Structure 1
Amino acid sequence: MNCKKFVLIFLIFFVIFVNVGFTNDKVLTVGVWNNPNLSIIKDSEISGFVVDIFKYIAEKNDIKYKFVAGKWANLYSDLVNGEIDVLIPIAYSDTRLKYMKFTDYNYPVFMNWGVIISKSKNIKTITDLKGKRIAIVKNDIFYTGTFGMETYLKLYNIDYKPVSVSSYEEVLNLVKSGDVDAGLIARNFYNYINDRSIYETFLAFQPVRIVFAFNKKINDNIVNLFDKELQNLINDKSSIYYVKYNHYFHNGSLHKKYVIVIYLALIITSILFLLIVILRKIIKDRTSKLIDINKRLTTILSATPDLILLIAEDGEYLEVLTSNEELLADFRDNLLGKKVKDVIQGSVADKIMNIIQKALDTNEIQIFRYELDVIGGKRFFEGRVKPIDLGYKKRTVLWYAIDITETEKILRELQVEKEKLNSILKSVSEGVVVIDRNKKIIFANKSACEILEIDECVGKSFDDVIRLYKDEERVFLPLDDIFNKGINFEIGKDYKIKTSKNNEKYIDDSLSPLFDSESKIAGAVFVFADITDKMIYEREVLKSDKIDTLGRFAAGLAHDFNNYLSIIKNYNYLILQKENLDDEIMSIAKNIDATIEKSIGITKQLLTFAKGGEPVKELIDLNEVIKEAISLSLSGTGIQYNINFEDDKFIVYADKGQIVQVFVNLFVNAKDAMQNNGKIEVNIRNISLQKENILNLSPGEYVEIRVRDTGPGISEVLMSKIFDPYFTTKEHGNGLGLAICYSVLKRHGGTIYLNREYKNGAEFVILLQKVKEVKTQVFKNENIIETDKKLKILYMDDEYMLRDSFKILLESMGHEVITVSKGEEAIEAIKKDNFDVIILDLTIVGGMGGVDTAKEIRKIKPDAYIVVTSGYSDTGAVANYSDFGFDNYFLKPFKVEELKKILSESIKR
């Protein structure tokens, strides 16, 4: 356990204090859909503005790819499901980021928006779409986007009839055929339509930026590569980007008005350039006095292995100082005078400018980490930015950047290990909760949440979530001792934890200090396991052991005790049969007989615990058994009862007398607990148990009987003792009632337990194996045939007085009786003479017993009528007498009527 806790604490340390990254390479499958002139699919040829740009970047960087043509809706699903790697063209949206990656939306391949087309000129405003059938491509951002058509139609509460299709061609065809009133398409696609009967309305939706989309599994390096290439192409006005743009959208030549604009732009650029030159001249003149000081300072600062930058609030590089130019995005001389966004592209430039602005606004040092492509390759930096006044006209910041690439590499490697360890931690069956020194939960694994029956506990107070109890009293763990002394603390398995749903579970747990990287106590780790099922199982085993102990005692007592009771009963019967018996003697004899019957009852109860007290089973209907038990135990009381049957019959194979006794015991206990005033509810249903179950029963079909009362219930302290033999809370009880119930049901392959969750009284649950197929049971005729036939009977018993009393008893009925003391004598008698009935005692001390004797007799006389008798046996030969070669049985002490019935059976045979 201590080793296990050490491993868990070690795992938690990595989970809490380490971070990670991940890379991967991928060959690209590119989905393309027909959206002229962005993408054109014609005669199996794939081209278009977006397609050509993608091809150029991929081929330039030796990236292998293949185009897959399809419809928009299908390709969109394929990208989300990871069946293709790239989808072009596609519009950027925040919502789609959940399912895919995009190139930088600040450098879109194309700007686009959605338009409504129609054959009617009457659609001029959004309200004109009311009641119209509108063709829409599935998942089209011009429909679903934040500023898409769907948003505005809902905003103006306009009813319409959407018709979902998978491509703009289908939209166009439906509009042409008149099957819809209007259609939503991309504005570039309208330029592709060569049909004057189709009009573009003034309705436009969701301006978007067209980008490349990648599935979530694609390596970020590939996405970043396309980002960088796109930025370079867009920034380079002579690149293939503008050549292709003119080719697809201006038929190879610039319109005149664009040429004029370009000339004007050149003139303005020239003027700006002259202004910059003049301004630099002025600045140079004004700062000439500081050159000497600046040179000395620059020499000192340039010796730093890190970066020192002076940057103006507009992003202009005013000074660059470092001894390692590999850390720069460009060489120092190229950087000076340029702005951050001229050198650094994308979101990193935005972050840098935001940090500069925040430092200037707050006049406080700002610290942040960033990744940048520099001369020496991709590097990680930690930047510290502070406002500084050096006499520039522009507000300025001092940017001090430290190269943390090696540190970041180590952290990412450790993060990989962290995720592995985190997966292990989440998979362990024990609950793990980590708290800080403020007793706030900062980590909880999946098992902890499942045991506590809570969705999330991070951020909550430890004492609010971990509610421990012992003997119904709240227990608080010694957290202060853990924090201050660093001790380990373990609790016993008698503790229970109350879940968020107020269910109680037994737990085994420990509490240990959590140390940080400086070996200081940063908090504590609480490791605990749900051992409720284990506790239930152990209690069942303990309960069974107690019953077995009593059984061994009962077994030692039963045989001799029943034999002696039989002797007394036989002689007493002979006394009662005397004529003209004195009244006083008659009264004494009857009292003796009544006492014997009570003694027999006690012995039978004890024998239910003994190994040999096997039930004599038959098919019985539990419905009838329960009704009989209620009649015996509740008649004449003020107790109300209700029986709920799921089926008409619940047939089990059981000893009816013993099962009736079980329910009588339960009903009497309930009656006493409610003081003859309350209600008993019995619910019966069929259930199935799997191979693994906490009740330790065989798998299969069972009948479940729940006996519930409205009494005061059973206290927690007494719950573990109620099935102990001789434990009672009644003044005149013998403490065997529930113990007998448990023993009887155990011998029937079932069980009984107290439902601890029921709080409105007491509820006992009984399980008995169900009979799958009920065959017609042939019952013996129980009527005793009165006959004058005199039988010749052989009786074997090792107890002399039993042989004597039995012989006198049977002879008084007119039968001839031969007695023997052991099996060897019985076999010799069989060889010499014929007998109508052979009665064999099961257990013979120092001689052949009933089972072996019966086997030998069958060899000599296969058709002999053999009856087994016993005061106690541990072989099951009485309960299953026919399996041992016997024709009938009776138990000692016996009633004369039972004996007459058996003799009657032999005559019928």
Structure 2
Amino acid sequence: MLPSVVTLFATVVFLTFVFAYFYHKDRDRYVGIWALAWAFFALRTLFQIVAVQAGLDLPLLRLGNQTAALANGFFLLWGTEVFAGRPLPRTWTGLLLLCLLWTAGAAFAPVSFGWYSGPVFLILGLVYIRAGWVLLALPSRYRAGRWLAGGALVLWGLHKLDYPFLRPVEWFAPWGFLLATLCGLAVAVGMLLAHFERARGALLDSERRFRHLVENAGDGIFVHDLEGRILEANPAACRCTGYRREDLLRLTVADLEAGIPPDLLRRQWQALRDGRGSDTVEGFMRCRDGRRVPVEIRLAYFEHAGEGRVIAMVRDVAARKAAADRLAAEKERLEVTLRGIGDGVAALDGSGRVLYLNPVAERLTGWSREEAAGRPAHEVIRLRRPEDGGMFWDGREALDAALERGLDERAVVVSRDGTERTVEVHGALLGAGAAGAVLVLHDTTEKDRMRESLLRAEKLESLGILAGGIAHDFNNLLTAILGNISLAKMGADPDSQVLDRLERAEKATLRARDLTQQLLTFAKGGAPVRRAASILDVIRDSADFSLRGSNVRYQLAAPDDLWPVDVDPGQMSQVIGNIMINGAQVMPQGGCIRIRCENLPEAAAAGLPLDPGRYVRIRIEDQGCGIAPRDLPRIFDPYFTTKENGTGLGLATAHSIVRRHGGFIEVESEVGRGTAFILYLPAAEAPVEAEAGEEAPAEGRGRILVMDDEEVVRACALDMLATLGYEAAAARDGAEAVRLYAEARAAGKPFDAVVLDLTVPGGMGGKEAVQRLREIDPAVRAVASSGYSTDPVMGDHEAHGFAAVIPKPYRTAELAAVLRRVLGRAAADREGPVQQVLPGMAGNG
């Protein structure tokens, strides 16, 4: 008996090592569990050898024997369930544990062999039958292994069930041991066959899958030896090259290769030999029809039957290269488009970092594309809200929230150097995910400035209308005041204090007249009422007034024979005043403004944008900080200013006035040295007329008709005319004046002259009235009078049928001078219509 048991032990140990070896190689879990089962079977056999050899029946030997038997059954069933792809049922685990507890207790108790071993053999028999049934129920692909192992397990289980009953039969014991041994060996062999069948099936499945992949792969796959002979090629390789498979197998790699640099090939081969694999290389493959197809090639090395083999995976990239070329062309077109559009465009990636800035976006943000790339968008594109100055976003979360709700806002973009520009921001996410976003910045700075300019222009237009109305009404009041003062002066004692006070009141009234004119010229402009004037007097008056109260002084240099200029003194005073104020503002610490005047003969002015003639050049130079070169071309633009609280109207107004006078203004400036304005004004042909206010009014004779809508003006004019010796009549509007003139002419007492107010609210004004009068009397001598110095009639009265003009307010002497010229002797009449504009009266509003 002992030799049989020892032989069984050796066989089981061998089987254990076999199962352990296959587990080590294949790492199949069920093989490892079966290896444990046979290890415990070997342990049980060892306990039997010890018991037989020693002739002992000790409790520990009985317990070890039965425990090893139970462990063998447990691991056989568990491994079989795993082989079948199922978990071990808990019921069987519980039964085995209960049986193990019974065995542990019965081994040391005085019980019979049947009570001690009966439960063990019962449970083992059921376990073996269960394991055999699991194997027999497997699919037919494990036919041999499952039938052998499953049938043997069922037979072994049945033998375990009858063992307690047949053991007392002495003749059956050897045959029972033999039956158990054969069943165990059959189970082991059947399990190995089942494992091999499964491995072979997996190998066949893998081969079929691999072949299916290779046959249906879109890339060409070549297998060649280390000499380059092609051993295998898939259908894609045949389609790519145009060869049949049998033709390709007669070729070498060199027959197909075209355009891959030899040194690159050598590096790839070396990488394969070193076991590092190869990189993807690009080249060309020569087809059967001679075409050279662009391809990507990747090589892999393996060994087959001890010989080196190379798999070459070849991908036809002609379509991809064509698509890449189209994409590159489209990208170039997009790049050109983005460079050419007038809006700033920024592309962001999914993490909110800048990918791209077009040139406009670079200019708006102050970042170049290279500097901005990879930076967070909130660092590069700094936007603040115009209403409260807060930032649109100060981090990734705020940026994402803004983009998710869709950006369509007005904002101020703050450049890298602090420059701010107004923009309209539009932004949207790309796709539904976090693919990125696009921001579009539409610069509205100039449009906003234009809108503001239009609003300012509308305000100025309204201001001009208001100023004109104020000037007209104010000049009507000043006419009554100035006229009555002049009348009072005529009756005052030359040595009395009254005359001195009247003269001071008259000067103040004349100053008010000048201020009214400056207000009207600033707000509305208008055609200048030009006359021969001393530009030195204009400069002195304007400079003294503009620099009064400042720490800036001026120096005036001019030749003694400086020509008079043909200008509107009121408007030209505003030009000089604006330039002087600018000069004083750029010298807050004080300084000197130098003014130099000189005559410019016609030849000297030939190179300037002026009509031929003589001009007077005036150079006004300050010692300020100068004007930046980039701002110099725009200083005469309306509303352009570099001052924090500037309006941008002073120099624009000066430029407009000078041009209306037929002159020219230019500027020279050097940063840090100062600025010089050069004015060219047309020289007057006539000499400067003396001040009429200092002469005694000339008395006259004749009948004068005065038309004015203001009662105080009519009353004052009638008093002045009566004082001068004229017979005067008055009318409230043009219609009444035409009627009175016609009636007087019909009665044989015609009026010698008519003084007509140009503006009569709600009635006929002087412009229409003079046309009616000329229909009655073509020789009518009409004098235009108005508080609106901007009325075109005041600048060109002869074209409208008037013989002269007398702006409001006027003094008695000024009215007398005009009438004397109009009603002069026959010699004066032959000189034609006369324009009489007295000093200090031009353009008064």
Q: Aligning the two structures, in what range does the TM-score lie when normalised by the shorter sequence? A: 0.5 to 0.7
Residue in 2 aligned with 1:495? Answer: 412
CA contact (8 A) 2:708 2:760 kept: yes
CA contact (8 A) 1:782 1:901 kept: no
**2:253 is equivalent to residue 340 of structure 1:** yes
Matches within 5 A, 1:679-698: none
Amino acid at match of 1:573: S
**2:725 is equivalent to residue 814 of structure 1:** yes
**2:713 is equivalent to residue 802 of structure 1:** yes
Residue in 1 aligned with 2:765? Answer: 849
Q: Take 1:838 and 1:656, find their aligned partners in 2: how far apart are those partners?
A: 27
How far the C-alpha of 1:659 sits from its partner, in A, is 3.1
Residue in 2 aligned with 1:188? Answer: none
How far the C-alpha of 1:870 sits from its partner, in A, is 1.0
Amino acid at match of 1:508: V
- 1:824 is aligned, of 738, 742, 760, to 738
Matches within 5 A, 1:280-679: 303-305=215-217, 306-311=219-224, 317=230, 319-322=232-235, 325-328=238-241, 330-336=243-249, 339-347=252-260, 355-357=268-270, 363-364=276-277, 366-368=279-281, 372-375=285-288, 381-390=295-304, 397-403=310-316, 418=331, 420-437=333-350, 441-448=354-361, 457=370, 460=373, 461=375, 466=381, 477=393, 480-481=396-397, 484-485=400-401, 486-487=403-404, 490=407, 495-498=412-415, 504=419, 506-510=421-425, 512-515=427-430, 519-580=432-493, 586=499, 589-590=502-503, 592-608=505-521, 614-617=527-530, 629-630=542-543, 633-634=546-547, 639=552, 655-668=568-581, 670-671=583-584, 674-675=587-588, 677-678=590-591
Q: Take 1:514 and 1:529, find their aligned partners in 2: how far apart are those partners?
A: 18
CA contact (8 A) 2:702 2:726 kept: yes
Amino acid at match of 2:689: E
Amino acid at match of 2:430: F
**Number of aligned pairs?**
577
Q: Take 2:780 and 2:484, find their aligned partners in 1: how far apart are those partners?
A: 29
| Change in CA separation of 1:895 and 1:492 when aligned onto 2, cut-off 3 Å | farther
Matches within 5 A, 1:190-201: none
| Change in CA separation of 1:750 and 1:374 when aligned onto 2, cut-off 3 Å | farther
Structure 2 residue runs of 5 or longer lacking an equivalent are 1-203, 598-604, 610-616, 629-636, 830-845
Q: Take 1:750 and 1:464, find their aligned partners in 2: how far apart are those partners?
A: 52
CA contact (8 A) 2:256 2:286 kept: no
Residue in 1 aligned with 2:821? Answer: 905
CA contact (8 A) 1:511 1:524 kept: no
Matches within 5 A, 1:140-179: none
Q: Take 1:780 and 1:643, find their aligned partners in 2: how far apart are those partners?
A: 22
CA contact (8 A) 2:571 2:657 kept: no
| Change in CA separation of 1:688 and 1:505 when aligned onto 2, cut-off 3 Å | farther
Q: Take 1:856 and 1:654, find their aligned partners in 2: how far apart are those partners?
A: 32
| Change in CA separation of 1:846 and 1:632 when aligned onto 2, cut-off 3 Å | closer
How far the C-alpha of 1:344 sits from its partner, in A, is 1.8
2:347 alignment partner, SS class = strand
CA contact (8 A) 1:385 1:400 kept: yes
Amino acid at match of 2:215: A
| Change in CA separation of 1:312 and 1:686 when aligned onto 2, cut-off 3 Å | farther
Residue in 2 aligned with 1:840? Answer: 756
Amino acid at match of 2:756: L
Q: Take 2:318 and 2:648, find their aligned partners in 1: how far apart are those partners?
A: 74
Residue in 2 aligned with 1:782? Answer: 689
User: Which has the higher Rg, Structure 1 or Structure 2?
Assistant: 2
CA contact (8 A) 2:229 2:251 kept: yes
Amino acid at match of 1:385: L
Q: Take 1:857 and 1:531, find their aligned partners in 2: how far apart are those partners?
A: 56
Q: Percent identity, aligned pairs only?
A: 23
CA contact (8 A) 2:708 2:731 kept: yes
CA contact (8 A) 1:329 1:373 kept: no
| Change in CA separation of 1:353 and 1:830 when aligned onto 2, cut-off 3 Å | farther
Deviations 1:164-196 (Å, cap 9, x if unpaired)? xxxxxxxxxxxxxxxxxxxxxxxxxxxxxxxxx
CA contact (8 A) 1:799 1:821 kept: yes
1:597 alignment partner, SS class = helix
| Change in CA separation of 1:313 and 1:825 when aligned onto 2, cut-off 3 Å | farther
Deviations 1:74-95 (Å, cap 9, x if unpaired)? xxxxxxxxxxxxxxxxxxxxxx
Matches within 5 A, 1:881-900: 881-900=797-816
Matches within 5 A, 1:17-96: none
CA contact (8 A) 1:301 1:322 kept: no
CA contact (8 A) 1:470 1:496 kept: no
CA contact (8 A) 1:550 1:609 kept: no
Amino acid at match of 1:814: G
1:833 alignment partner, SS class = coil
Query: Which structure shows the bigger proportion of residues in strand conformation?
Result: 1
How far the C-alpha of 1:454 sits from its partner, in A, is 7.9
1:495 alignment partner, SS class = strand
1:303 alignment partner, SS class = helix
1:308 alignment partner, SS class = strand
Deviations 1:412-462 (Å, cap 9, x if unpaired)? 556665555555444322222223356654333354456678875476445
| Change in CA separation of 1:848 and 1:624 when aligned onto 2, cut-off 3 Å | closer
Deviations 1:335-381 (Å, cap 9, x if unpaired)? 55855333222347776665555566681563355553435866565
Amino acid at match of 2:707: M
Amino acid at match of 1:827: Y
CA contact (8 A) 1:680 1:710 kept: no
The Cα RMSD (Å) is 5.8
Deviations 1:85-112 (Å, cap 9, x if unpaired)? xxxxxxxxxxxxxxxxxxxxxxxxxxxx
| Change in CA separation of 1:612 and 1:637 when aligned onto 2, cut-off 3 Å | closer
Deviations 1:260-283 (Å, cap 9, x if unpaired)? xxxxxxxxxxxxxxxxxxxxxxxx
Matches within 5 A, 1:89-168: none
Amino acid at match of 1:303: E
Structure 1 residue runs of 5 or longer lacking an equivalent are 1-291, 690-702, 715-721
Q: Take 2:688 and 2:304, find their aligned partners in 1: how far apart are those partners?
A: 121
- 1:878 is aligned, of 794, 813, 817, to 794
